[in-house]
Every structure is written in structure tokens, then in C-alpha cells.
Amino acid sequence: MPFQDSRTLSGSIQPHPHVPVTLLMSIARHLPRATAVAMGIGASFGCSLSSDPASCETTTTTTTSLPPTTAAPDASCETTTTTTTTTTSLPPTTAAQDDQYQKSLRPYLPNEAALRKQWEQDEEGFRNLPARAWPPRQPDIEEIPGLEQQFQHQCHTASLQATTLCQDLKFLLATAFVFNNFSDTEDGKENITNRQKGFDMYLSQSNTHPDSMCAAGIILVEGLGRKVNEEKGLELLNQAYTQHQHAQSMYELGTAYYTGLEEYLEEDEPLAYAFFNEASALNHYGGMYMAADCLMEGVGTNVDVKRAVPMLFEAADSGHRFARQKCRELFSKYGEQ
């Protein structure tokens, strides 16, 4: 049965009608309508569902016919065609929207050179940027024995295991089991066994620990190491959202509605924008980027450049790479005007 979103009934979101990802949702199954989902920023469990859906490129090709040139007196003249290709992620704009962009960018233009330099230095390692994946910490295999020992020492009773400290430790341990390769092949026995162990650990505290709700939900939606169960997975994500206002779950739900789930969930752009906007309000920079992109494109909401530009620069200031790329494009298009 298709997933029913309880938020529209509870009244916490009232999205208005209108067109156009982190745990793991395969890119092949969930391409957004644009062209392809770019990999990298804010991607859950390495990439996929939380890869920002709007981070795809549109290409404009312009063909120009040059006038014939004269060589020797009897040489034939030819018409040469040159093709210039420009890649941009910016949407087409009207003259009025161009004016809004120019006005909205005025506070940032004096710092353009400094921002460009800072962003280049950040990419070279001068500043730690946000993790490209969620959860931001994904322990290596070598850390598992230490985490197990720490958990056994600090969380040896049921009452202790209910504490935030122990639940966070268990979440880290589960993440290490789920997202490391324990064998040479993806479907190797060790991978399957340890992913099941990690999933069971998430699920065991999914009633009280919102990160575990989110992780278990996306594993079920994606079918990572197990059979896909979109209904149960989306229920867990919605539970983390409604009960805990969990920003990552808002972002994951937004992505699911932005792209749709094949043969299960229809795209719903107004609902996707509403989720991204709520995640943005909680300083989730992936949500901030996606909400800004929706406002620039008029996806699920009306075009609103005045709201989009500050949101985009705030995400860029956090280190969000796609937001920075879009800001560079805005500087290039409007900076000299």
C-alpha cells in the first residue's frame, strides 16, 4: 500500500500545490527528473538518497555560422560551424528575475574574490568541510573491537543502555557493521552477516533513538543487505520526523518525494519542498541547499530569488560544495553587471 504521510493530517506542514539526496537509495532507481543525481554532498551512507537531487547540470549548446573566408583567387569558400558548450546549474531566468538576482547579490559581491579564494583553499584542506555522507562519523573496521569493549564496559545494564550515551555508542557500532566491507564481494557472507547485525542494532533502539530510526528506515527503503520494504522504511523516517523533528529524516523524506520511489511513491514536489524547507530551518545545510534550489527553480513552490540567495550563501558558508558551485555561477553571471 502506498505510504500515507501523516504530516498532512497533523497540520505540521501545509504545502501549497505546484515542478522541479543520506542514507542509501540507488542512483539508478531514483534519478530526479532533471538529468542525473550528482554524487558527493550530503550523501547518506556514502551517496544516494541524500545526494542532493538538484545537483545535476544542464547544458546549453550554441551553434554559430562563421562567414566564408577568402584564400587564393580560385580557392573554394566554406562555411565553418563552431559549437560552444556551456555547463550551468542555474535555471533560465526572466529579465525581472535577473534584476532580483542582481539586487540580492549586492551584499556578497564586495567579498567575491575573498570567498572564491577561501573556497579554493578549503578544498585543498585548509579547513575541515562537512562530511559528504550521513552519518558524519562512520567508524572503520579497526575501530569495532574498541567500540564493542567501550559499549560492554559502559552499557552493561538495561538502564544504562537506555541512556543517550549508550544509544549513541550502539549507533556508531551499528554503523561500523553496516557500512564496512568485510569480504571481497558485496554479497559475501561476512558482509551479509555484519549488515544484518548492524541493522538489528539500529532497529533495537529505533523507538527511542532518532538517528537509529532514520538509519533503519533508509536501509529498508533501499534494501541494503535485505529485501526492500518501502512502507516500513518510510514509516520509520516519518516517525523520526514527527516524534523528534529529526532534520536528516526530513531531508530523506524530501528526497523521496522529490525523486519518487519507483512503483511505490509518486513524486510530490510541494511536499518535497516543504520537507527541505523544514530541514533548512533546523540548519541542515543539505536541506538549505535543496530549499534554495527549489525557490530558484520554482519547484514545489513559487520562484523567490530574495529568499533563495541568502539561503544558498548560508549553505555555502557551511562548506556545502554544491551550494558553493552555484554561488560561483551566480558571481560569474551577475558579478560584473
CATH class of 15-55+93-334: mainly alpha
**pLDDT at 87 (0 to 100):** 67
Helix (H) or strand (E) holding 29: none
Residues β-bridged to residue 60: 86
User: What Å distances lie between residue 25 and 47, 78, 143, 246, 265, CA to CA?
Assistant: 8, 52, 26, 19, 13
pLDDT digits (tens, 9 = 90+) for 244-258: 999 999 999 999 999
Give the cell for residue 307.
Answer: 529568499
pLDDT digits (tens, 9 = 90+) for 5-51: 433 323 344 333 222 234 333 333 333 333 333 333 334 554 444 45
Half-sphere exposure of 46 (CA within 13 A, CB side): 14
The per-residue b/e assignment along 95-104, b for 16 or more CB within 10 angstroms, e otherwise, is eeeeebbbeb
pLDDT digits (tens, 9 = 90+) for 134-150: 999 999 999 999 999 99
**pLDDT at 55 (0 to 100):** 60
- Residue where the block lists cell 571481497: 184
**pLDDT at 180 (0 to 100):** 87
Mean pLDDT check: name the lowest of 59-68, 108-117, 234-243.
59-68
**pLDDT at 86 (0 to 100):** 52
User: What Å distances lie between residue 205 and 159, 161, 264, CA to CA?
Assistant: 13, 9, 27
Give the highest mean pLDDT range of 179-183, 222-226, 306-310: 306-310
- Residue 123: which residues within 8 A CB-CB, separation 6 or more? 129, 321
Give the cell for residue 127.
Answer: 579547513
The predicted model gives 123-129 an average pLDDT of: 76
Residues β-bridged to residue 61: 85
**pLDDT at 45 (0 to 100):** 53
pLDDT digits (tens, 9 = 90+) for 291-301: 999 999 999 99
**pLDDT at 336 (0 to 100):** 67
Give the cell for residue 314.
Answer: 548560508
Strand, helix or coil at 65?
A: strand
Q: Which of 142, 149, 210, 206 has its CA nearest to residue 176? A: 142
What does the alpha-carbon distance between residue 300 and residue 287 come to, in Å, rounded to a whole number?
Answer: 14
Report domain extents, the chain: 15-55+93-334
DSSP 182: -
Q: Which of 105, 135, 334, 104 has its CA nearest to residue 246? A: 135
